Amino acid sequence: MIKASAIILSIALSTACGGGNTTADSPTPIPTPEPLPDPIPDPIPIPELTQSEASRLLAQASFGATSAQIQQVIELGREQWITQQISLTPSLHVPHLQTLEPLLEEDEQLWRQHRMETWFHHAITADDQLRQRVAFALSEIFVISEVSAFSDDTYGITNYYDLLLEHAFDNYRDLLEHVTLSPVMGMYLSMLGNEKPNIEENIRPDENYAREVMQLFSIGLVELNLDGSPKLVNGNTIATYDQDIIKAFAHIYTGWNFNGTTEDTWWQFHKNYQTLLSMTPVQAFHDTSEKQLLNNFIVPANQTAEQDLEMALDNIFQHENVGPFISKQLIQRLVTSNPTADYVARVASIFNDNGENIRGDLAAVVLAILTDEEATNGHINNAQTFGKVREPLIRATHLWRAFDATSPNGRYQFGWPDYFFAQAPLAASHVFNFFSPSYSPPGEISTLGLVAPELEITTENYLTRTSNFFAYSTLWGHTNIEGQTEEEERILIKLDSLYPFLEDTDVLLDYLNILLLGGSMSENMRSILADAYQDTADWEDDDKLSNLLFLIMVSPQYIVQK
């Protein structure tokens, strides 16, 4: 209206002054005013997460919920919290390991218990919880183990874990290359020192890494649909590769050795642990023949070791199996052991294209996994099949994080977790990890066609040991010295946060339900716990609280993450 009025006023003044050629018979038309733009609607508010939803996210994306972090997730929202976590600078393990070296006794050296201490320090205290958790998941896919010839190389093994941390949210293709050129992986799966064929000396390229990088790290044994299900021809699966392809890749992976190795020092590799630097090639030991890889791709003859490797890793990366194969395993490690086909397909689609025509973006894959409808509501929509058994290592870190565990000497000295849990970081007994992603225990789970990978290490022996661990850790504080109470090394939880609820059983159970079970405590479990708590009414405060925690930590309902 303001614009139109100004036009009319201008015309009237012009006519009064005798300007222009218009007459009464031919009036100047008044232009139609331009329509105002539609008002911008208010943005639809994103519903605030409940405490239960925040706690469930942290069960999937961290080493255990804490009260402070539950509140942080609520304040930021699911996607923003994940995005912020992805942006955090990696908390690496090698620098912390270096801080322990000056604390060693005379003639003592760093070994596995210091590596374990470093791992627990970061799992419990690091701010970049999502990165730490994803790196742990990757360590169970891209497996190396101290159960090998390099078990005394504490820095080398720790550096491999840092490699997974640094590249947890990078591109899968880059991660695959860093894993391939890790000297620790090179020793573990015998790519390091691998030589070109020499018939006279009966030398043939080692096929170990060539086989495992395909079977376990990238594409698996059979062709897959986008949803992770096997492709079938006449009811039969289709093999992804054969022995000829393994042999061709084995020839690709020749000529690599410790960083700085030369032709003259090739045979000295066993004396030269350069495990903090990527392997480098010695061209004289690389096979330069033509090689036929996956999908009939030809690597031409007379290329360098670097050129052959780049083409070979690209060949693996572009295989259509990689998206569903890696995506499904990450879903299993973080969210649920039996994801629906649609869930796998949605995440694999993001692996194939993150929306910006980029393939293999692991940050986008992790975001897709944790924000998918199945991750957020699977416990409601697929109640009978959704969820996973919590790995005992993660149950321990959850207890210690939730109750602000410390030790008198300020360290987390827990050198032999495998004694209690049948698992310890980078200490699986073989390249297939502590448990197979396809493991299905006999009985109802197998009959229903479901899997429960973590139950492969849940034996009667380890059930008892794990239960004993939580008894020690809740009732007396864990001690690193078997058979002793070493005051300086005890890892002790703090019960301060529970004191305000001592006399109110309902509020106490509400608090523990959110913090430990993500709000999933059944009425039956709640009734049992309430009765048990009342039965200890005459106990000392810390004793009755610790007993309640112990009952929760060993309960089947807590052990199954929903």
Q: Quick check: is 28 in a domain?
A: no
Which pLDDT belongs to residue 269? 64
Which pLDDT belongs to residue 478? 58
| Residue 26: strand, helix, or coil | strand
Which pLDDT belongs to residue 489? 78
pLDDT tens digits for range 64-74: 999 999 999 99
Q: Quick check: is 428 in a domain?
A: yes
Picking from 330, 349, 380, the residue at the C-terminal end of a domain is: 380
pLDDT tens digits for range 522-546: 999 999 999 999 999 999 999 999 9
Confidence of residue 47 (pLDDT cuts 50, 70, 90): confident
Picking from 352, 380, 408, the residue at the C-terminal end of a domain is: 380
Neighbours of 240 (CB within 10 A): 21
Picking from 296, 320, 344, the residue at the C-terminal end of a domain is: 320
Q: Quick check: is 12 in a domain?
A: no
Co-location of 327 and 194 in the same domain: no
DSSP secondary structure string, 145-191?
A: -SSSTTTT-HHHHHHHHHHHHHTTTSBHHHHHHHHHT-HHHHHHTT-
pLDDT tens digits for range 296-317: 999 999 999 999 999 999 999 9
With contact defined as beta carbons under 8 Å apart, do 192 and 186 qualify?
A: yes
Q: Is 357 left (phi over 0), alpha (psi -120 to 50) or beta?
A: left
Instruction: Kindly tell me the burial class for residue 388, based on how many C-beta atoms sit within 10 Å of its own C-beta (0-12, 13-18, 19 or more).
Output: buried
Q: Quick check: is 285 in a domain?
A: yes
- Share the mean pLDDT of the chain: 92
Question: How much of the chain, in percent, has pLDDT values that exceed 70?
Answer: 89
Co-location of 436 and 546 in the same domain: yes
Co-location of 341 and 410 in the same domain: no
Q: What is the mean pLDDT of residues 460-471?
A: 96
With contact defined as beta carbons under 8 Å apart, do 190 and 209 qualify?
A: yes
Q: Quick check: is 171 in a domain?
A: no
Co-location of 533 and 438 in the same domain: yes
Which pLDDT belongs to residue 35? 65
Co-location of 494 and 506 in the same domain: yes
Q: Is the pLDDT of residue 104 over 50?
A: yes
Structural domains of the chain, count: 3
Confidence of residue 139 (pLDDT cuts 50, 70, 90): very high
Q: What is the mean pLDDT of residues 157-175?
A: 98
Question: How much of the chain, in percent, has pLDDT values that exceed 90?
Answer: 85
Co-location of 361 and 280 in the same domain: no
Q: For residue 394, give the nearest of 437, 365, 434, 367 by alpha carbon.
A: 434
Q: Quick check: is 1 in a domain?
A: no
Co-location of 271 and 347 in the same domain: no
Q: Quick check: is 134 in a domain?
A: no
Q: Quick check: is 100 in a domain?
A: no
Q: Is the pLDDT of residue 10 over 80?
A: no
pLDDT tens digits for range 388-402: 999 999 999 999 999
Point out which residues pair with 491 in neighbouring strands: 478
Q: Is the pLDDT of residue 42 over 80?
A: no
Single-letter code of the amino acid located at 54: A
Co-location of 448 and 527 in the same domain: yes
Co-location of 506 and 425 in the same domain: yes
Radius of gyration of the chain (CA): 30
Co-location of 440 and 531 in the same domain: yes
Q: What is the mean pLDDT of residues 124-134?
A: 98
Co-location of 452 and 523 in the same domain: yes
Q: Is the pLDDT of residue 8 over 80?
A: no
Domain residues for the domain of 203 are 186-320
Q: What is the pTM of this model?
A: 0.90
Which pLDDT belongs to residue 481? 39
Co-location of 506 and 543 in the same domain: yes
